[in-house]
Structure 1
Amino acid sequence: MSQTVFSNAETFRPNAPVPAPRFAGLPRLNFVYGHNDPEQVPAAELADCAAKVLAENGHLLGMYNLGQAPQGHDRLRQFVADKLGKRSGIRCASDDVLITSGSLQAMDLINALLVGPGDTVILEEFTYGGAITKVQKLGARVVGAPLDEGGIRMDRLRAILEELRSEGVRPRYIYTIPTVQNPTGSIMDLGRRHELLALSREFGVPIFEDECYADLVWSGERPPALYGLDPERVIHIGSFSKSLAPALRIGYVVAPWDVLGRLVASKTDAGSGALEQMVVAEYVTREFDRHVDALRAGLGAKLAVLVDAIEREFGTAAEIFHPKGGIFLWLKLPDGVDVRSFAQAALDQGLAFNPGPDWSCDPEAAKSHMRLCYALPSEGVIREGVAELARISFEHTGVPARSANRARA
């Protein structure tokens, strides 16, 4: 492997990132990131779709954006609009949809439009780690809104907004994952959604709604999206990463045109991957409901195995937040445990998990928490991984003192 050193390193801008480590492969017992189950990716069907769209419309690849609107592939945008109308109560046209290279690009575009150095944003106290770091890198202040089993606590959110108003601060937005919250797995009920929108109107703060996991609700039913309830106050993003395949990198934004048009103007990449859009559009228009039903069933079975393994290996030492869908489990060990104390030791032994502080606006408040992604590993690997996690945790913290109803030595 080359060890060449760049001779003009002094030209790097101040505060440039340190080099990423070279990729050494995924850990054998892997509970991190938002991977999905490779066996549930419809590879053969996607191959058929690719052959079909290339045979029928491959010539369109000779034009940026396939010669269509800069918002993305017409057929895919129409599917998104139809899906959101059917499942999320959002009434929009295909022209109200912008296809992005995953929801992360959507997040970057929205932050670039709304957030600058010294600004303030409100996030959920436990939330997607990327949402926290992206705002912090822009030089903005992050304020965490407390959660309970139903999502953001509206009484605490009101108190935060009133305090900020007294300081002369109006937050740039309130970011929420209302349907299958990451990492807690909760779903905000309809009444609380109306309360959130009322606070948005009262304090003049827009809502940034992230619905990347909404298609994976166990029951298949969910409350209307916030955008569907009040499109004038909300910017909505979603993704096919969790419902189809993360490596396809297809997300979307739905917003009023005075917002969406500015995002289109800011999206200077000459268009997200067109072939991926064509293939996904062909697949989802005929197979999406069947695929998602099967995916939910498979994920639900893995979650049941994970919960059983945690209860067996950790007993009452672990508090489990039972998710209402999705691919993540959020759990808490006793207050005296700092999961960061053994995260690297676990990784060195081939086991990876997400320490809670990486998913919290206040890292110390989440030092006893961890997030486990159960979509990628097989059921056998889940059981083996949880047993290893309990062993390593005990070696470093003394918790859990008992596993499988036996005292640990």
Structure 2
Amino acid sequence: MTAPFDFAPLLAPGTPDPAVKWNGFPKYNFIGGHNDARQIPVEALTEAATTVLKREGATLATYGLNSGPLGYRPLREFLAGKLKGHAGIDCTPDEILITSGSLQGLDLVNSLLLAKGDTVLIEQETYGGALTKLGRIGVNVVGIPLDAEGLRLDVLKQKLGELKGKGIKPKYVYTIPTVQNPTGAIMGETRRQELIELAAAHGVMIFEDECYSDLVWSGRRPTSLYALANGEGVVHIGSFSKSIAPALRVGYLVAKWGVLSRILALKQDAGSGALEQMVLAEFCSRHFADHVPRLGKALHGKLQTLREALAEQFGTAAEFGDPPGGIYLWIKLPDNVDTVKLAQAALAAGVSLNPGPEWSTNKDYARCRLRLCFANPEPETIRKGVEVLAEVCRREFGVPLRSANVDKK
């Protein structure tokens, strides 16, 4: 019998630990960026797929669908119009690059700008995937605290001054200004303008991530940083993952051609998924404007279900806000709760959650915090999942002492 080949000595330095084998979703799934299954527009997507394939299916014979390396042109044309009306961005289809999800956009910008030892400024609580990727590159990550309006510019100004005094110029400021992940904050337009002026004064680029900006309950949002800066010194990324379906893996990147041409030269993947782009373009041109408000209404309802369940099961032991959009709730538990340990114990009981330290540059601050995604579970599943989570938290950490529904007896 042949002995197993030992490839461990061949691994490149910095290779991450092996992935855990997937055994299905837990019963109460509050992690990741999953969306509401009932709101996936299956019939309209089916119709769009049939229509566009009958009309243009032969273009699948060529890389780029006869649209070039930036991506399917009808989708870029839709985005140019959508970004103008939604975010105030005045760009042409040739200033938009279609990516395989916004994560590829993140990778491309990092590949263009970053090397080991560089410095970037990011929100203290932020997208865990961004933190992971920056860690693998080996950059110096400086976290800036948040308030109810997002990135605190007083601290950002202080940090920029300190770095300048050391002869260090950060490569970019990474921010999620519209429905921040994980806090849900929305940066006001006055602060946005101040951020642009501050970054320009220090010669630092702004990396604007707007993956959740379609999911604002009111439907109104401030003008994007990219638009306020007229595209100068700002790179903008977005996604259809949260507004249509995460499994489609279609995102986009907006930049002036001088920057975009450099990024395009790095995208050596023969193009992002063609069929997904074709179907989205066909669907969005007809249904996007009606679909998003319906999705937002359903998600807002689930958020309120989650908030009510937390209040019932945890009482005052859980502190949380009422975010104006998105799919996440950022929660603070008592200081003695370690959410990394809580996540492990909860998973054994069928509840998955994202512990705070995975989403923060300040591990001590985030130790007692967690993020719950409310988009995918049905309301009754949300209620039961929170009940089980409270039972696990009580057993492991002694809080909550008892749930509010017990107090009423």
- TM-score tier by shorter-chain length is over 0.9
Change (3 A) 1:6 1:47: farther
Counterpart position of 1:388:
388
Q: Counterpart amino acid of 2:276?
A: E
The answer on 1:265 being equivalent to 2:265 is yes
Alignment correspondent of 1:401: 401
Q: Tell me the CA shift for residue 334 of structure 1.
A: 1.5
1:228 aligns to what? 227
Aligned to 1:85: 84
Deviations 1:295-319 (A, max 9, x none): 0000011011000000111111111
User: Structure 1 counterpart of 2:389, which letter?
Assistant: L
Distance 2:348 2:236 in 1: 39
1:345: Cα distance to partner? 1.2
Q: Which runs of 5+ in 2 are unaligned?
A: none
RMSD of the alignment, in Å? 1.2
Which residue pairs with 1:108 in the alignment?
Answer: 107
CA distance in 1, matches of 2:321, 2:359: 15
Aligned-partner SS, 1:335: coil
CA distance in 1, matches of 2:261, 2:219: 32
Q: Secondary structure at the match of 2:311?
A: helix
Match of 2:17 in 1: 18
User: Once the 2 structures are TM-superposed, how far is the Cα of residue 236 of structure 1 from its aligned partner?
Assistant: 0.2
Give the aligned residue type for 1:290.
D
1:307 aligns to what? 307
1:200-257 C-alpha deviation (Å, 9 max, x unpaired): 1111111000000000001000000000000102100000000000000000000011
Deviation for aligned residue 1:15: 2.7
Compared CA separation, residues 85 and 5, structure 1 to 2 (3 A): farther
Contact 1:81 1:92 in 2 (8 A): yes
Distance 1:62 1:7 in 2: 41
Percentage of identical aligned residues: 53
User: Are residues 1:70 and 2:69 paired?
Assistant: yes
Quote the offset at 1:9 in angstroms: 3.3
- Partners of 1:32 and 1:353 within 8 A in 2: yes
Q: Which residue of 2 aligns with 1:30?
A: 29
Q: Report the AA paired with residue 163 of structure 1.
A: E
**Aligned partners of 2:345, 2:50: CA distance in 1, in Å?**
46
CA contact (8 A) 1:76 1:280 kept: yes
Match of 1:122, SS? Answer: strand
- Aligned equivalent of 1:118: 117
Q: Report what 2:218 is aligned to.
A: 219
1:321: Cα distance to partner?
A: 2.5
TM-score normalised by length of structure 1: 0.97
Please state how far the C-alpha of 1:407 moved relative to its aligned partner: 5.9
Counting only pairs closer than 5 Å after superposition, residues 268-283 of structure 1 correspond to structure 2 as 268-283=268-283
Separation in 1 of the partners of 2:32 and 2:333? 20
* CA displacement at 1:21 relative to structure 2: 1.3
**Residue 356 (structure 2) aligns with:** 356
Structure 1 match to 2:245 = 245
> 1:69 offset after TM fit, Å?
1.8
Per-residue CA shift, 1:387-407, capped at 9, x if unaligned?
A: 111110111111111202536
Cα displacement string for residues 88-120 of structure 1 (whole angstroms, at most 9, x for unaligned residues): 000001000000000000000000001110001
**Counterpart secondary structure, 2:65:** helix
Q: How far apart, CA to CA, are the structure 1 residues paired with 2:332 and 2:5?
A: 44
Runs of 4+ in 1 over 6 A off after TM superposition: none
Of 397-406 and 270-279, more deviation after overlay is shown by: 397-406
SS where residue 216 of structure 1 aligns?
coil
Aligned to 1:171: 170
In structure 1, distance between residues paired with 2:315 and 2:16: 41
| Cα deviations by residue, 1:264-294 (Å, 9 ceiling, x for unpaired) | 1100000000110000000000000110010
Residues in 2 aligned to 1:168 and 1:126: alpha-carbon distance in whole angstroms: 26
8 Å CA contact 1:31, 1:353 repeated in 2: yes
> Given residue 282 of structure 1, which amino acid in structure 2 is its aligned partner?
E
Residues 1:95 and 2:97 aligned together: no
Instruction: Tell me if structure 2 keeps the 8 A contact 1:401–1:407.
Output: no
Q: Do the aligned residues in 1 keep the contact of 2:14 with 2:136 (CA within 8 Å)? A: no
**Equivalent residue letter for 1:243:** S
CA-CA distance at 1:341 after TM superposition: 2.0
Q: Deviations over 1:313-345 (max 9, x none)?
A: 111111102211010000101122211122111
Q: Which amino acid aligns with 1:328?
A: Y
Give secondary structure in 2 for the equivalent of 1:123. Answer: strand
After superposing the two structures, state which structure 1 stretch, 98-107 or 46-55, moved more.
46-55
Name structure 1 gaps, 5 residues minimum.
Answer: none
* 1:60 correspondence with 2:59: yes
**Aligned counterparts of 1:129 and 1:8: Cα–Cα separation in 2:** 29
* Counterpart-to-counterpart distance in 2, 1:24 and 1:337: 28
Q: TM-score, normalised by structure 2?
A: 0.97
- Partners of 2:13 and 2:173 lie apart in 1 by 30
Question: Shift of the alpha carbon at 1:16?
Answer: 1.9
